[in-house]
Amino acid sequence: MEDRLLKDVHRHSGSCFCLPKQTVQAEFICGTYSYYHYGCDGFDDRGWGCGYRTLQTLCSWIQNKEFEREIEASSPPSLPEIQEALVSMGDKPKKFIGSKDWIGSFEACICIDYFYNVPCKVEHIRNGGELKNVIPMLKQHFKIIGSPVMMGGESDTSSKCILGVAEGILTSLLILDPHFYGQSTKDIIQAEGWVKWRPLDSFVESSFYNLCLPQYKIK
């Protein structure tokens, strides 16, 4: 199934997504990922599966990094496999299996460790107004590790994947949105805004946010 998914949808003919005007500095992920979104595997998870899809996108990046090193790595887990893993780890009760319950950045962290033996860092941001405080950390993460970052919130409950940071007059995050449903092309995904730059003031100021940052390292 991995081969049927769009890859690196933030890129234009090998180059990075168009930068916001008057950008002074930008950092992006380093590596290849597959775009997991609602229904991409024939499983209709509209309305509840966005966190699972963002987790799968992060897993696809790890899988590709392992392939680059000629290390065998499993494909991103399916939604049922993610639910079964969370129950097996004791994070969720048995009734979680087969449910439409959401998952967030914390569940993504422990699943990445469970499936790939890659630890993750969880960064808690008390409100959207404090996102500016984690920009130096995100830039450093993209420089040193290069993985996508999962972002989940409280009032802003929609899961998101951070692919880059741009600084200038405004500071913006390059966001990949897993809520797309259907079949498409990279050009359409870009044109319709399923991957786009979002200035920090577009996030919900009253919502806390949690980030999941895989700490993948060359061993």
Catalytic amino acids?
Answer: 50, 177, 179
In order, the DSSP letters of the chain are -GGGS-B-TTEETTEEPPPPTTEEEEEE--S--B---TTTTS---TTT-HHHHHHHHHHHHHHHHHHHTT---PPPPPHHHHHHHHHHTTSS-GGGTT------HHHHHHHHHHHH---EEEEEESSGGGGGGGHHHHHHHHHHT---EEEEESSS---EEEEEEEEESS-EEEEE-TT--S---HHHHHHTTSEEEEEGGGS-TTS-EEEEEE-----
